[in-house]
């Protein structure tokens, strides 16, 4: 059946956009870098973005453990210190992508379960309860890291990744960003007079002004996060000093005021985190199994972030061996989290991957500079606490934009798929729907013993299912992967509909010469650790 184009234009009218294996329009790719002054400012901006999640998670878990502001400040400094190390290790020896290794929400459920355990009710002193709980969390993190190390370094993730097609990667990457929507506008609305101006100013600075100026010399979008945060932060300080929140409810004051975090007064001027600073770790089998589920979810969500970062770094698709290598170093990072006592595990930071898209700079060097800022401000606690005291609705406004960039990175993978195939439509639609619907069902239950969709006497088993099925990205990729590998596999068009033929050339490291540029290990280490 012929379809008329209309208008009688030239023969090239209404042609589909060509498929791009590397994202065009990126100013600096993974292996390139802007000038040092600009790279330093961009690195600081990445640090500013990642610290929000660290503060949010620490604010949730430390009070449950029995800690106060002093303990919270020390946990934040410890995580920043280890995050700096983990980011350097991942960018040097892991995937070699420009990813920041930040705090993971996946570990919150087992940590809450540990914190509410009856075995800690014997402690009267809150500080002693905090130390005992932290040591239990450390032990669980240390042993759960072995799961990531084995899956990564022994090549199990490489085997699975070779069967990952663009079709099954779309729900994975998309819900890696979209699944965090509860940390966006709902958190912004806790202080709408601060959060909404931040969102509006960020969009104006990053989108409208650069589009109106149309000058290569004005690169406002690169520093839009930094400028907007400074403007709105000053505005929030003025509101606080002027007494706008003096007689407001406590929840509003905590969200809006710039002097209620308690971090600045509680932080030390200089403090260097060190291994086993909270004491000798303790081990409990149920805690370990629960934490292993979180470690698995961290693998899945990090994989989605790695793929998004490779797109915004204008790199080719990640060879499965490199993905597996990155998972192995993720396990090393979780091991360091347990040794130092960060309070939670690590994952590839989604918001920082989104910042790569916003700035259009996917430089590895910029991320390594941000790691240096993490190490610097973790030791100089007072200075780091000033930045950590930014009102969380400002951070949530940033998330509304940065998470959206990761969502769009996932949707962009649809260009490799046949969208006219009903098989493709079913797999994508069903995986996305279940990826949002199933976690919503699990999240409706309170995280206390004997409550939840699964009612067994083994709390650790309940936690495992709660952790896995509370992760939108994990649910989505399980559904999409199973359907893609089993549905209509005998049909000759299935592989092309899934788009896997586009990624076939990257299945092995040496099949495409571009892999060497983006993913080869430094210092000629590929001779000793070859990628297969």
Residue 487 lies in a domain: no
Mean pLDDT of 331-341: 97
Strand partners, 347: 102
- How far apart (Å, rounded) are the C-alpha atoms in residues 285 and 313? 41
Q: Find, among 51, 57, 61, the residue nearest to 81 by Cα.
A: 51
The conformational region for residue 4 under phi > 0 = left, psi -120 to 50 = alpha, else beta, is beta
More confident residue, 453 or 324: 324
Give the phi and the psi of residue 102 in degrees, each rounded to 5: -110, -170
Residue 279 lies in a domain: yes
- How far apart (Å, rounded) are the C-alpha atoms in residues 98 and 312? 9
Number of separate domains in the chain: 1
Residue 523 lies in a domain: no
Mean pLDDT of 507-524: 88
Residue 436 lies in a domain: no
Residue 517 lies in a domain: no
Confidence of residue 296 (pLDDT cuts 50, 70, 90): very high
- Enumerate long-range contacts of 447-453, CB under 8 Å, 24 or more apart: 447/109, 447/112, 447/113, 448/116, 449/113, 449/116
Mean pLDDT of 403-413: 97
Calculate what percentage of the chain has a pLDDT beyond 90.
72
Range of weakest confidence among 150-154, 231-235, 385-389: 385-389
Task: Write the DSSP assignment of 365-391 as a string of letters.
Answer: HHHHHHHHHHHHHHHSHHHHHHHHTS-
Does the pLDDT value for residue 8 go beyond 50?
Answer: no
Structure tokens at 345: 């595990």
- How far apart (Å, rounded) are the C-alpha atoms in residues 203 and 217? 19
Q: What local confidence, expressed as pLDDT, does residue 530 receive?
A: 59
Confidence of residue 217 (pLDDT cuts 50, 70, 90): low
Structure tokens at 63: 């009070």
Rg (CA), the chain: 23
Query: Residue 421 carries which DSSP code?
Result: -
Structure tokens at 171: 């729900």
pTM higher than 0.75? yes
The conformational region for residue 22 under phi > 0 = left, psi -120 to 50 = alpha, else beta, is beta
Does the pLDDT value for residue 3 go beyond 60?
Answer: no
Mean pLDDT of 305-314: 97
Calculate what percentage of the chain has a pLDDT beyond 70.
94
Residue 435 lies in a domain: no
Q: What local confidence, expressed as pLDDT, does residue 261 receive?
A: 66
The mean predicted confidence, pLDDT, of the chain is 90
Residue 255 lies in a domain: yes
Q: What number of other Cβ atoms are within 10 A of residue 41's Cβ?
A: 15
- How far apart (Å, rounded) are the C-alpha atoms in residues 437 and 439? 6
Which structural domain, as residue segments, surrounds residue 298?
A: 36-415
Does the pLDDT value for residue 194 go beyond 90?
Answer: yes
Tell me how far CA of residue 365 lies from CA of 33, 97, 253, 325, 376, in angstroms. Answer: 6, 10, 39, 20, 17
Tens-digit pLDDT profile for residues 20-45 = 989 999 999 999 999 999 999 999 99
Q: What local confidence, expressed as pLDDT, does residue 246 receive?
A: 85
Q: What local confidence, expressed as pLDDT, does residue 510 receive?
A: 86
Count of positions (residues) in the chain: 532
Tens-digit pLDDT profile for residues 352-394 = 999 999 999 999 999 999 999 999 999 988 888 888 888 999 9
- How far apart (Å, rounded) are the C-alpha atoms in residues 455 and 218? 58
What's the distance, Cα to Cα, between the start and end of the chain in Å? 47
Axis crossing angle, helix 392-411 with helix 224-241, rounded to the nearest 10: 150
Residue 342 lies in a domain: yes
Q: What local confidence, expressed as pLDDT, does residue 260 receive?
A: 72
Does the pLDDT value for residue 198 go beyond 50?
Answer: yes
Q: What local confidence, expressed as pLDDT, does residue 63 receive?
A: 94
Residue 348: enclosing H or E segment and its boundaries? Answer: strand 346-348
Mean pLDDT of 419-440: 95
Mean pLDDT of 507-519: 89
Q: What local confidence, expressed as pLDDT, does residue 446 receive?
A: 53
Q: What local confidence, expressed as pLDDT, does residue 216 receive?
A: 62
Query: Residue 133 carries which DSSP code?
Result: H
Tell me how far CA of residue 333 lies from CA of 85, 263, 388, in angstroms. Answer: 8, 25, 22
Tell me how far CA of residue 270 lies from CA of 48, 202, 360, 381, 442, in angstroms. Answer: 20, 33, 35, 6, 42
Is there a contact between 520 and 526 (Cβ–Cβ < 8 Å)?
yes
In the block, tokens 């000053």 appear at: 234
- How far apart (Å, rounded) are the C-alpha atoms in residues 467 and 175? 16
Give the phi and the psi of residue 159 in degrees, each rounded to 5: -65, -45
In the block, tokens 């079913």 appear at: 426
Q: What local confidence, expressed as pLDDT, does residue 321 receive?
A: 94
Tell me how far CA of residue 305 lies from CA of 177, 221, 223, 353, 399, in angstroms. Answer: 8, 22, 22, 7, 15
Q: What local confidence, expressed as pLDDT, does residue 451 receive?
A: 57
Does the pLDDT value for residue 442 go beyond 70?
Answer: yes
Does the pLDDT value for residue 529 go beyond 90?
Answer: no
Is there a contact between 493 and 501 (Cβ–Cβ < 8 Å)?
no
Residues ≥6 apart with Cβ < 8 Å to 189: 195, 393
Task: Write the DSSP assignment of 63-83 as a string of letters.
Answer: HHHT--HHHHHHHHHHHHHHH
- How far apart (Å, rounded) are the C-alpha atoms in residues 262 and 267? 9
Does the pLDDT value for residue 6 go beyond 50?
Answer: no
Secondary structure of residue 438 in the 3-state scheme: helix
Q: What number of other Cβ atoms are within 10 A of residue 118's Cβ?
A: 7
Q: Find, among 499, 392, 493, the residue nearest to 58 by Cα.
A: 392
């Amino acid at each position: 059946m012929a379809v008329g184009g209309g208008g009688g234009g030239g023969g090239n009218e209404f042609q589909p956009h060509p498929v791009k294996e590397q994202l065009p329009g990126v100013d600096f790719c993974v292996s390139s870098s802007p000038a040092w002054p600009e790279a330093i400012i961009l690195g600081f901006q990445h640090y500013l973005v990642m610290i929000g999640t660290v503060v949010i998670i620490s604010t949730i878990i430390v009070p449950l453990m029995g800690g106060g502001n002093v303990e919270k400040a020390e946990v934040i400094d410890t995580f920043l210190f280890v995050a700096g190390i983990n980011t350097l290790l991942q960018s040097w020896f892991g995937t070699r992508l420009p990813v920041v290794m930040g705090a993971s929400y996946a570990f919150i459920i087992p940590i809450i379960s540990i914190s509410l355990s009856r075995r800690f009710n014997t402690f009267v002193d809150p500080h002693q309860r905090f130390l005992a709980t932290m040591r239990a969390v450390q032990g669980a993190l240390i042993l759960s890291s072995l799961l990531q190390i084995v899956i990564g370094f022994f090549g199990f993730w490489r085997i699975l990744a070779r069967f990952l097609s663009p079709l099954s990667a779309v729900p994975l990457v998309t819900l890696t960003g979209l699944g965090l929507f509860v940390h966006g506008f709902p958190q912004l609305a806790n202080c709408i007079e601060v959060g909404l101006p931040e969102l509006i100013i960020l969009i104006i600075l990053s989108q409208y002004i650069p589009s109106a100026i149309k000058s290569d010399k004005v690169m406002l979008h690169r520093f839009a996060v930094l400028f907007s945060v400074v403007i709105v932060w000053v505005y929030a300080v003025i509101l606080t000093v002027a007494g706008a929140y003096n007689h407001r409810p406590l929840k509003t004051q905590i969200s809006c005021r710039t002097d209620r975090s308690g971090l600045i007064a509680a932080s030390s001027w200089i403090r260097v985190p060190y291994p086993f600073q909270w004491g000798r770790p303790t081990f409990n089998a149920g805690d370990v199994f629960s934490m292993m589920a979180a470690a698995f979810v961290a693998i899945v969500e990090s994989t989605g972030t790695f793929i998004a970062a490779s797109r915004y770094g204008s790199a080719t698709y990640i060879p499965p061996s490199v993905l597996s290598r990155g998972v192995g170093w993720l396990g090393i990072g979780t091991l360091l989290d347990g040794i130092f006592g960060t309070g939670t595990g690590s994952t590839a930071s989604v918001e920082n991957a989104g910042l790569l898209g916003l700035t259009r700079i996917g430089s590895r060097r910029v991320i390594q500079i941000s790691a240096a800022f993490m190490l610097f401000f973790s030791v100089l606690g007072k200075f780091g606490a000033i930045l950590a005291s930014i009102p969380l609705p400002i951070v949530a406004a940033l998330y509304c934009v940065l998470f959206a960039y990761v969502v769009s990175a996932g949707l962009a993978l649809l260009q490799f798929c046949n969208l006219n195939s009903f098989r493709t439509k079913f797999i994508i639609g069903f995986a996305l729907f279940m990826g949002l619907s199933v976690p919503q069902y699990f999240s409706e239950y309170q995280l206390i013993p004997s409550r939840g969709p699964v009612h067994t006497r083994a709390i650790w088993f309940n936690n495992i299912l709660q952790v896995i099925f509370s992760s939108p990205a994990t649910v989505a990729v399980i559904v999409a992967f199973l359907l893609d590998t089993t549905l209509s596999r005998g049909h000759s068009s299935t592989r092309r509909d899934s788009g896997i033929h586009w990624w076939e050339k990257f299945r092995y490291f040496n099949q495409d010469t571009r892999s060497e540029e983006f993913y080869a290990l430094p210092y000629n280490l590929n001779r000793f650790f070859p990628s297969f």
